[in-house]
């Protein structure tokens, strides 16, 4: 029988976080409009949702998280490591969901606090990717995962709060997020060469390629770009959100596709 707990935890996370962020946006709990996120193309509207396209496109993350939870409900589909630690699959589903309300907080209000929540939600996912890779690289368990996860999130937020800008990526917080993802990808490449587990590289490649296309589109969705149409409801940054949600789901499928090598486990049949 399917385990209902992943969907239950993820569904509650989605409902509670969306309710909180929408209430915060509607009644101004996140503070005044400080222009956070106005470097993206979409023009701010006079209503309580300042950037509607860039706000509502974040529902893609909620759907991706629920899709992950639905897959995680069947433990035999979780692969080698997640099958041994199914709570991590549920955690990934919940963190994917939180990317949506976190980004909505910034794009809907353009407030400082909304901007911080946006980066925090990003570091929760990059921290998971890095911690999960380190845990498997060191052949350790959830304790090591938790330690690396906390350090990665805190370090990313520290860089973000310090402030500053970098070429192409803009805010230095974006650079820290990208650095954590690239380190996680590098470790996944090393893990793919390990003899004890067989990785399905196609899911990983699909995730990286989707993220690459998303970033290419992201670069065209800034103010001053020739393709910028501030009043259009079709925004490049909104497409970035949807493609990143797809990349997160594909990354999870890469995790869940991990299997023992047949030569080390003769009874195993893929």
Q: What is the DSSP string of 39-101?
A: TBSSPPPSSSSSSHHHHHTTHHHHHHHHHHHHHHTSGGGSHHHHHH-HHHHHHHHHHHHHHHH
Using DSSP's 3-state secondary structure scheme, residue 203 falls into helix
Q: What is the pLDDT of residue 262?
A: 64
Q: pLDDT, tens digit, for every residue of 150-177?
A: 999 999 999 999 989 899 898 899 999 9
Asked whether the beta carbons of 18 and 206 are under 8 A apart, the reply is no
Residue 264 forms part of a structural domain? no
The answer on pLDDT for 30 being more than 80 is: yes
Q: What is the pLDDT of residue 184?
A: 97
Residue 139 forms part of a structural domain? yes
Torsion angle of the four alpha carbons 162, 188, 219, 127, in this order, in degrees rounded to the nearest 10 = -30
Cα distance between residue 241 and residue 172, in whole Å: 19
Asked whether the beta carbons of 205 and 247 are under 8 A apart, the reply is no
- Mean pLDDT of the residues in the chain: 93
Cα distance between residue 199 and residue 132, in whole Å: 14
Using DSSP's 3-state secondary structure scheme, residue 251 falls into helix
Q: What are residue 170's DSSP bridge partners?
A: 166
191 is written with which tokens? 């893990």
Q: What is the pLDDT of residue 83?
A: 94
Q: What is the pLDDT of residue 269?
A: 37
Q: pLDDT, tens digit, for every residue of 205-241?
A: 999 999 999 999 999 999 989 999 999 999 999 999 9
Residue 268 forms part of a structural domain? no
Residue 266 forms part of a structural domain? no
Q: How many domains does the chain have?
A: 1
Grade residue 270 by pLDDT with cuts at 50, 70 and 90: very low
Q: pLDDT, tens digit, for every residue of 91-147?
A: 999 999 999 999 999 999 999 999 999 999 999 999 999 999 999 999 999 999 999
Grade residue 261 by pLDDT with cuts at 50, 70 and 90: confident
Residue 24 forms part of a structural domain? yes
Cα distance between residue 127 and residue 118, in whole Å: 14
Cα distance between residue 116 and residue 9, in whole Å: 24
Distance of alpha carbon 248 from the chain centroid: 6
Q: How many helices (H) and strands (E) does the chain have?
A: 10, 4
Structural domain that includes position 178: 5-259
Q: What is the pLDDT of residue 168?
A: 87
Q: What is the pLDDT of residue 263?
A: 53
Q: What is the pLDDT of residue 61?
A: 98
Angle (deg, nearest 10), helices 142-162 and 112-137: 150
Rounded average pLDDT over 249-256: 97
Asked whether the beta carbons of 216 and 21 are under 8 A apart, the reply is no
Annotated binding site: 107, 237, 241
Q: What is the pLDDT of residue 265?
A: 41
Please list, in sequence order, all residues whose beta carbon lies within 8 angstroms of the beta carbon of residue 233, skipping any fewer than 6 positions away: 52, 53
The answer on pLDDT for 185 being more than 90 is: yes
Asked whether the beta carbons of 250 and 68 are under 8 A apart, the reply is no
14 is written with which tokens? 């989605």
Q: What is the pLDDT of residue 100?
A: 98
Grade residue 199 by pLDDT with cuts at 50, 70 and 90: confident
The answer on pLDDT for 51 being more than 60 is: yes
pTM: 0.93
Q: How many residues does the chain have?
A: 270
Residue 265 forms part of a structural domain? no
Grade residue 1 by pLDDT with cuts at 50, 70 and 90: confident
Annotated binding site for Zn(2+): 107, 237, 241
Burial level of 101, CB count in 10 A (0-12/13-18/19+)?
buried
The CB density around residue 244, as the number of other CB atoms within 10 Å, is 25
The answer on pLDDT for 47 being more than 50 is: yes
Residue 17 forms part of a structural domain? yes
Q: What is the pLDDT of residue 4?
A: 93
């Amino acid at each position: 029988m399917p385990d209902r707990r992943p969907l239950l935890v993820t569904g509650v996370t989605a409902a509670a976080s969306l309710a909180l962020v929408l209430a915060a946006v509607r009644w101004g709990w996140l503070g005044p409009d400080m222009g956070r996120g106005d470097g993206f193309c979409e023009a701010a509207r006079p209503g309580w949702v300042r950037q509607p396209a860039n706000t509502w496109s974040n529902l893609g993350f909620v759907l991706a998280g629920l899709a992950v939870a639905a897959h995680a409900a069947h433990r035999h589909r979780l692969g080698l490591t997640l099958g041994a630690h199914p709570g991590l699959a549920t955690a990934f589903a919940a963190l994917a969901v939180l990317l949506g309300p976190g980004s909505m907080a910034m794009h809907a209000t353009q407030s400082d606090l909304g901007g911080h929540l946006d980066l925090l939600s990003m570091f929760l996912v990059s921290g998971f990717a890095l911690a999960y890779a380190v845990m498997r690289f060191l052949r350790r368990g959830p304790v090591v995962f938790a330690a690396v996860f906390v350090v990665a999130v805190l370090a990313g937020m520290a860089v973000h709060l310090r402030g500053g800008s970098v070429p192409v990526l803009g805010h230095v917080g974006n650079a820290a997020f990208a650095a954590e993802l690239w380190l996680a990808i590098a470790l996944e490449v090393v893990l793919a060469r390990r003899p004890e587990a067989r990785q399905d590289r196609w899911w990983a490649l699909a995730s990286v390629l989707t993220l690459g296309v998303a970033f290419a589109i992201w670069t065209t969705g800034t103010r001053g770009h020739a393709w910028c149409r501030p009043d259009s409801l079709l925004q490049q940054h909104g497409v970035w959100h949807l493609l990143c949600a797809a990349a997160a789901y594909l990354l999870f499928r890469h995790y869940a596709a991990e299997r023992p090598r047949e030569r080390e486990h003769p009874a195993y049949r893929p």
